[in-house]
Chain A
Amino acid sequence: MATAAPVLAVSGLRAYYQTSSFGVEREVRAVDDVSFEVGANEIYGLAGESSCGKTTLIKTIAAAIRPPLRVLAGSVVFNFGGKTVDVYDADQAEIDGLRWRHLSYIMQGSMNVLNPVRRVRASFVDFAFRHIDKPMPAFTDIVETHLKRLHLDPGVLDAYPHQLSGGMRQRVAIALATVCRPEFIIADEPTAALDVIVQNGVLAMIREVQREIGSSLIFVTHDLAVHANLCDRLGVMYAGRLVEEGRTAEIFSRPLHPYTVHLIGSLPRIGEVEPKKGLEGTPPSLADPPPGCRFHPRCPLAMEVCRTHVPPMATLESGRRVACFAAVPESQP
């Protein structure tokens, strides 16, 4: 639950990919006006289909962006034990000080974060050693204790990544990201390439680590089943915008935004016999999104106002938020 002092506050964030070559300028609005907060000790899920800007959003939050991706507006403020850092208003040294120690990032395809030609131990030393102010023997102790806590054999340190299975590599990658006991963990589809059984084990491990360290977690995946299983709160993205946010159970039992309704309606249920109906059309190109609400060309509830006005994020009871004129008629201009 979001408490009085959120660990992460994102407000009005706009991050566009801007390219210009041979006089042709293109702008892909991957993240447009996104605001949300993540409280202490909370697992926040980000859902949405592929190419809706999930990865761009968390890259921006982690300050791991490189041109052509640029942040045009908004702020990302972390609050670690009373010390606030605005990522886009801080110098590089301050951001470097945050990373790994306070903020860690399990990247997409993170089973490949281990350098294939070096032993796992070398990856731990390369990535984490600088962030733990301890001599090498103490560092090795910390790493081995941490691995044991995660039910991993410290022997993996002397293996090469190709000697480990995919699930094992994923666990090692998570151990690597959490070895400094960060207050904030960002996980981008850490279970994407795994089958459901291994996935379950990895999810259990992530939850265990999160509980044990007491850190906050942003968890990104398009797999709603995983969200239902893991997350305290859920944010649903569509075409670069956050369209709905609320507690996971509430969203699943009573989705408000028509996109969320269809997303959840698409999940198979036991005993269901009627074929599922898909939404017409495809998500819009983020280089040329439709005016007004970005969902209106596909929305069964679309009204005239949806074509011209962007629905504002309306806050309902119990912190539930939704951006839709149909769901919240009061928000219409």
Chain B
Amino acid sequence: MARVLFDLLRFNREFTAGIILLGFVVIFAGLSFVSPYPPNDSYVVPFDLPPSWTHLLGTTSRGQDLFWLLTFAIRNTLLFGLTVAVISRILSLTIGLIAGYAGGIVDRILMSINDTFIVLPLFPILVLFYFVMRDSMSWVLLALVMACLGWAYDARLIRSVSMSLRTREFTETSIFSGMPMRQILVQEHLPFVMPIVFSTTMNNINWSIGLEVTLSVLGFTDINTPTVGVLIYWANQHTALVAGVWWWIFFPVALVIITFIGLFLLAVSMNEFIDPRSRLSRIGN
């Protein structure tokens, strides 16, 4: 795997660009640990200052330094995306592999649940969820809910691969040698679907960050934890664009776009790696 990553880094421009962009975002998020200001304190610096050397990205109308505030925001946003991705990957892998391998009635039950989740309209459900939860809404809770809604497409994808793996000779031999089902799935089938999982993880992070930003901008999340969406929400509340505080909107949006492009490039280059035709040329390396 390390070798594959190194080759991708060397020969695949999309991958290199994606890694650089994402690396930048991650380092930026890491700066939050050395921030001089706690994220929720306001009026610690003069307000509405444009970008300058003392305040790199300017200050907000609430007297916060935008640079340091943004480090917290992007950290929370990335963590949110990762949490959703990890939990939904676990769900989709478990359900996809089991459904594809077991077949029959198990497959039918799991896939009817799966299809139910595919047709559910996500956005209205998330808004409804906010109105029900109101004050007890936190980003951890939102991440859990989105993970529960975000696994279905990929579970179907993994199931289709697993169905074909089930009929291969090495699966038959595994069964014949007395391997338990759990071991067959984890040791024999999981390595096959890992590339797909990597690729869909990127897409899943993009999807969850996008939805989180949308919900936050509209104020349908916990607005006291700074995320990129929450930052934009507060900027809108203070009519930042009308007041001429353009940097309050511009920098969060720019950062989230950089994150999206980075993840997208990674997903695309991973897809190229998964494509059997391009993989064929790598055989023997």
Contacts and interface: CB of A to CB of B under 8 A. Distances in A.
Interface of A: 62, 64, 96, 99-100, 105, 107-110, 112-115, 117-118, 122-123, 126-128, 130-131, 162-163
Contacts of B170: 112-115, 123
B179 A126 contact: yes
A29 B168 CA distance: 25
Contacts of B179: 126-127, 130
Contact of A64 (B172, B191, B192): B172
B169 A118 contact: no
For the residues of B in contact with A, the DSSP-based class is: helix
Given A64-B175, A99-B176, A126-B187, A117 B192 contact: yes
Contacts of A112: 168-170
Contacts of B177: 99-100, 126-128, 130-131
B169 A107 contact: yes
Contact of A126 (B168, B169, B172, B188): B188
Given A64-B176, A99-B178, A110 B192 contact: no
A113 B178 CA distance: 14
Contacts of A117: 191-192
A109 B173 CA distance: 11
Interface string B167-199: 011101111111100010001100110000000
A50 to B, nearest CB: 18
B283 interface: yes
Contact of B176 (A105, A108, A130): A105
Contacts of B175: 64
A130 B175 CA distance: 13
Contacts of B191: 115, 117-118
Contacts of A113: 169-170, 172-173
Interface centre among B168, B176, B192, B284 (most CB of A within 10 A): B176
Contact of B178 (A100, A110, A163): A100
Nearest to A97: B178
8 contacts: A64-B172, A64-B175, A96-B178, A100-B177, A107-B176, A126-B188, A127-B174, A127-B179
B172 A107 contact: yes
